[in-house]
């Protein structure tokens, strides 16, 4: 057998011999123009280069060509050249190369010089290729009959190829063919089945609605497979694959109609459909404790409001003291009101009296003695007006916090989560692959070291976090808006707003899949019509309504009942009054002791 260089030289010589195009060559030319990637010619002998069909293909400039010998074909083809051409004398010779027809994702062009009188042999060969290899991306050229055929597995027949779109038309109507559909309980899908017989009865959710539309347009029947314990799955330490990734990797499913993050699952045997939606991968912790009602008024307004309140009181006392100093220094005439200023002989006594009167006005209490100067009285009037504003703000805030409970500060950033030293538990191995890995941030590296894969038992991970609160969890943002919304609405868990990852989400098919183009076409039309946004929005709205089906959560939220204020709600005022009375009694005792001395 000549070497590859010899074959190439013969091919270059053969290019000089022109040949008129036959009718099938026009169709073949349109097919070659549609094929993406290179075409590899597998030839058995040098004389094959003189064949008119080979010469025709060598004159095509629409695709990259390479030449090899069929005897040098390996079981693992180079995927640079996705499409393959072979020339056979008869069906028997073509059957010998059946093991080499690997389903690599490209097309095969099999040319047959002598067509058998009994077409059953050719039909049996085409059916065997589909049954044993799942491969229908094959064009059969019958040179002596001047035609190109393709096998339609959904009608179990051979069809004439008129143009490059014939193959697409075959997979545009599957004629009720059953496809193995794998789905499981996910964010936008819910599976109902019989555990005893392991039979899926029905599937609901946005993913299920999209799957129904795809099945209706492409005309196939969904044959649901019973979900594994590991829904998503991934690569295990021993090199095998579990869950949905494992089934697609082994070719046990035709499509998985549950959303997967578009990312690397450490296998080249799966592929994704067009992206259906996006979602964030977020962390959540136990909700911060509720502020006790005994100190609730202290948290009724923000810290800066309290700080401003204190500063205005101190500055107001200083301004009043300055006004008194100016009035006394300039000898401004006093207002006769019967007061005797000699009661305050010293500067410190005067300053203390002004400081006390300022705070009396500032907290909206009647002043026992008005200042003897008009400028000071005007200042008190303005101070009273500002005091009314602060008082109204405080009173409205107090009314709000008794209706809407307040909580201590939650963890809102990843840096704050890192500072809490909480371990991070995950339930899917795919979460750990690149959630924090590969970042330069020291915070991300520390958080990545805290992640631990755990298996959910009878009690779900989010339920344990809501009760114990000694660790954090990882989940999709949409999951907290749908399946686990009751934990969020009842203030059981808190989602950290700073989400480390954002993913496109799509469905998974084994590689290669002849159904990919047809499924993508339907998905893109559904997305363009806005139906997926409608279906996901309906699910989120129904999830918010579903909170009314849980009486225990309604009781915790006090839904449907009025808030009646009792003594426990105003206990802080009694505490302040009691402490004030005790301090007043202590001061009175000290004065009595000082007077006796």
Between 34 and 253, name the one with better pLDDT.
253
Q: Quick check: 148 pLDDT over 90?
A: no
Residue 560, φ and ψ in degrees, nearest 5: 85, 5
At residue 15, the pLDDT reads 33
Q: Quick check: 495 pLDDT over 70?
A: yes
Q: What is the pLDDT of residues 261-309, one digit of tens each?
A: 898 888 888 999 999 999 988 999 999 888 777 777 777 777 778 888 8
Average confidence (pLDDT) over 248-260: 91
**In this prediction, what percent of the chain has a pLDDT beyond 90?**
15
Q: What is the pLDDT of residues 6-52, one digit of tens each?
A: 433 333 333 333 333 347 778 888 888 777 777 888 877 777 777 88
Q: Which parts of 439-561 fold into alpha helices (H)? A: 442-449, 461-467, 477-481, 485-489, 516-528, 531-545, 551-557
| Cβ atoms of 510 and 251 closer than 8 Å | yes
Q: How confident is the model at residue 127 (pLDDT cuts 50, 70, 90)?
A: confident
At residue 554, the pLDDT reads 60
Q: Quick check: 201 pLDDT over 50?
A: yes
SS (H, E, C) 103-172: CCCCCEEEEECCCCCCHHHHHHHHHHHHHHHCCCCEEEEEHHHCEEEEEECCCCEEEECCCCCHHHHHCC
At residue 513, the pLDDT reads 86
Q: Give which of 200, 289, 187 is closest to 536, Cα–Cα.
A: 187
Residue 62, φ and ψ in degrees, nearest 5: -80, -15
Q: Give which of 164, 178, 216, 224 is closest to 198, Cα–Cα.
A: 224
- Sequence-separated contacts (24+) of 378-382 with Cβ below 8 Å: 379/316, 379/319, 379/320, 379/323, 380/320
Average confidence (pLDDT) over 369-373: 78
Structure-block tokens of residue 360: 């009396």
Q: Which residues contact 173 (CB under 8 A, 6 or more apart)?
A: 154, 218, 219
Q: What is the pLDDT of residues 564-587, one digit of tens each?
A: 667 776 677 778 888 888 988 888
At residue 522, the pLDDT reads 95
Which of 130-134, 341-345, 376-380, 546-550 is predicted with the least confidence, judged by mean pLDDT? 341-345
| Cβ atoms of 62 and 34 closer than 8 Å | no
At residue 564, the pLDDT reads 64
Between CA 531 and CA 521 the distance in angstroms is: 14
At residue 18, the pLDDT reads 35
Between CA 365 and CA 357 the distance in angstroms is: 9
| Cβ atoms of 484 and 475 closer than 8 Å | yes
At residue 12, the pLDDT reads 34
At residue 2, the pLDDT reads 41
Which of 37-41, 102-106, 219-223, 337-341 is predicted with the least confidence, judged by mean pLDDT? 337-341
Residue 517, φ and ψ in degrees, nearest 5: -65, -45
Average confidence (pLDDT) over 176-203: 90
At residue 76, the pLDDT reads 46
Q: Quick check: 473 pLDDT over 50?
A: yes
Structure-block tokens of residue 71: 């005897």
Between CA 41 and CA 206 the distance in angstroms is: 46
Average confidence (pLDDT) over 363-370: 72
| Summary mean pLDDT of the chain | 80
Return the number of other C-beta atoms located less than 10 Å from residue 23's C-beta. Answer: 10
Helix H or strand E segment including 322: helix 303-329
**CA 100 from centroid of its chain's CA atoms:** 41
Q: How confident is the model at residue 485 (pLDDT cuts 50, 70, 90)?
A: confident
The angle formed by the CA atoms of residues 69, 72 and 74, to the nearest 5 degrees, is 130
Q: Quick check: 343 pLDDT over 80?
A: no
At residue 557, the pLDDT reads 56
At residue 339, the pLDDT reads 54
Helix H or strand E segment including 508: strand 501-510
Between CA 98 and CA 404 the distance in angstroms is: 73
Looking at the chain, how many residues does it have? 597
Q: How much is the pTM?
A: 0.71
The residues with which 204 forms a beta bridge, in sequence order, are 190
DSSP per residue, 258-310: EEEESS--S-SSEEE-S--EEEEEEEEEEPPPBPPTTSGGGGSS-HHHHHHHH
Helix axes 374-403, 303-329, angle to 10 degrees: 170
Average confidence (pLDDT) over 231-260: 89
Q: What is the pLDDT of residues 428-455, one digit of tens each?
A: 776 776 788 777 788 888 888 888 888 7
Q: Give which of 159, 271, 352 is closest to 514, Cα–Cα.
A: 271
Which of 110-114, 149-153, 459-463 is predicted with the least confidence, judged by mean pLDDT? 459-463
Core vs surface per residue 106-141: b (16+ CB within 10 A) or e: bbbbbbbeebeeeeebbbebbeebbeeeebbbbbbb
Between CA 366 and CA 554 the distance in angstroms is: 45
Return the number of other C-beta atoms located less than 10 Å from residue 473's C-beta. Answer: 24
Between 32 and 183, name the one with better pLDDT.
183
Q: Quick check: 527 pLDDT over 60?
A: yes
The residue whose two tokens read 């300055």 is 322
- Distance between first and last Cα of the chain: 129
Average confidence (pLDDT) over 85-90: 84
The residue whose two tokens read 């009878």 is 458
- Sequence-separated contacts (24+) of 52-55 with Cβ below 8 Å: 52/19, 52/22, 53/25, 53/87, 53/111, 53/141, 53/143, 54/14, 54/87, 55/14, 55/15, 55/17, 55/18, 55/19
Between CA 113 and CA 67 the distance in angstroms is: 19
Which of 59-63, 182-186, 513-517 is predicted with the least confidence, judged by mean pLDDT? 59-63
Between 103 and 256, name the one with better pLDDT.
256
- State the sign of the Cα–Cα–Cα–Cα dihedral 208, 211, 215, 217: positive
Between CA 131 and CA 314 the distance in angstroms is: 89
Between 242 and 36, name the one with better pLDDT.
242
| Cβ atoms of 492 and 463 closer than 8 Å | no
Dihedral angle over CA of 512, 233, 202, 223, nearest 10? 30
- How deeply is 365 buried, as exposed, middle or buried, from its count of CB atoms within 10 A (0-12, 13-18, 19+)? exposed
CA distances from 269 to 137, 236, 251 (A): 17, 16, 8
Return the number of other C-beta atoms located less than 10 Å from residue 588's C-beta. Answer: 10
> Within 13 A of 405's CA, how many CA atoms are on the CB side?
18
Average confidence (pLDDT) over 550-558: 60
- How deeply is 372 buried, as exposed, middle or buried, from its count of CB atoms within 10 A (0-12, 13-18, 19+)? middle
């Amino acid at each position: 057998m000549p070497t590859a260089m010899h074959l190439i030289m013969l091919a270059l010589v053969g290019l000089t011999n022109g040949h008129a195009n036959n009718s099938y060559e026009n169709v073949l030319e349109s097919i070659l123009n549609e094929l993406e990637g290179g075409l590899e010619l597998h030839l058995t002998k040098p004389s094959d280069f003189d064949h008119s069909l080979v010469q025709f293909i060598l004159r095509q400039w629409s695709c990259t060509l390479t030449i090899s010998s069929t005897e040098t074909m390996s079981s693992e083809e180079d995927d640079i050249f996705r499409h393959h051409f072979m020339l056979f004398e008869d069906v028997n010779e073509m059957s010998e190369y059946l093991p080499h027809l690997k389903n690599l994702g490209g097309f095969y062009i099999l040319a047959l010089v002598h067509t058998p009188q009994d077409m059953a042999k050719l039909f049996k060969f085409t059916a065997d290729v589909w049954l044993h290899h799942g491969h229908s991306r094959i064009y059969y050229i019958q040179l002596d009959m001047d035609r190109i055929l393709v096998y339609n597995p959904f009608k179990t027949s051979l069809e004439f190829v008129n143009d490059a779109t014939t193959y697409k038309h075959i997979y545009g109507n599957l004629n009720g063919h059953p496809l193995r559909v794998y789905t499981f309980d996910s964010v936008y899908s819910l599976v109902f089945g019989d555990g005893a017989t392991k039979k899926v009865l029905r599937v609901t959710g946005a993913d299920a609605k999209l799957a129904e539309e795809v099945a209706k347009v492409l005309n196939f029947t969904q044959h649901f497979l019973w979900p594994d314990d590991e829904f998503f799955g991934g690569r295990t330490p021993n090199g095998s694959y579990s869950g949905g990734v494992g089934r697609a990797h082994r070719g046990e499913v035709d499509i998985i109609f549950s959303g997967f993050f578009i990312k690397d699952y450490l296998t080249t045997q799966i592929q994704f459909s067009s992206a259906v939606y996006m979602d964030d991968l977020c962390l959540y912790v136990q909700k911060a404790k509720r502020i006790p009602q005994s100190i609730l008024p202290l948290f009724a307004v923000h810290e800066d409001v309290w700080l401003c309140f204190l500063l205005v009181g101190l500055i107001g006392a200083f301004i009043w003291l300055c006004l008194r100093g100016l009035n006394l220094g300039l000898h401004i005439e006093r207002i006769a009101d019967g007061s005797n200023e000699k009661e305050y002989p010293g500067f410190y006594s005067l300053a203390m009296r002004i400081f006390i009167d300022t705070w009396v006005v500032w907290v909206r209490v009647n002043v026992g003695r008005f200042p003897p100067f008009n400028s000071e009285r005007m200042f008190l009037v303005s101070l009273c007006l500002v005091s009314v504003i602060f008082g109204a703000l405080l009173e409205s805030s107090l009314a709000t916090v008794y209706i809407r409970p307040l909580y201590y500060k939650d963890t809102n950033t990843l840096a704050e989560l890192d500072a809490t030293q909480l371990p991070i538990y995950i339930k899917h191995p795919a979460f750990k692959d690149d959630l924090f890995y590969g970042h330069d941030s020291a915070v991300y590296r520390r958080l990545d070291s805290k992640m631990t894969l755990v298996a959910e038992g009878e009690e779900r991970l989010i339920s344990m976090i809501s009760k114990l609160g000694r660790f954090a969890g990882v989940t999709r943002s949409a999951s907290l808006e749908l399946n686990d919304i009751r934990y969020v609405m009842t203030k059981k868990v808190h989602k950290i707003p700073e989400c480390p990852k954002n993913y496109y989400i799509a469905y998974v098919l084994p590689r290669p899949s002849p159904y990919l183009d047809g499924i993508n076409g339907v998905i893109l039309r559904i997305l363009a019509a806005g139906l997926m946004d409608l279906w996901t929005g309906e699910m989120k709205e129904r999830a918010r309504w579903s909170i009314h089906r849980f009486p225990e959560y309604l009781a915790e939220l006090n839904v449907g009942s009025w808030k009646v204020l009792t003594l426990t709600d105003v206990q802080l005022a009694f505490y302040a009054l009691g402490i004030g009375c005790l301090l007043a009694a202590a001061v009175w005792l000290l004065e009595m002791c000082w007077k006796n001395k």
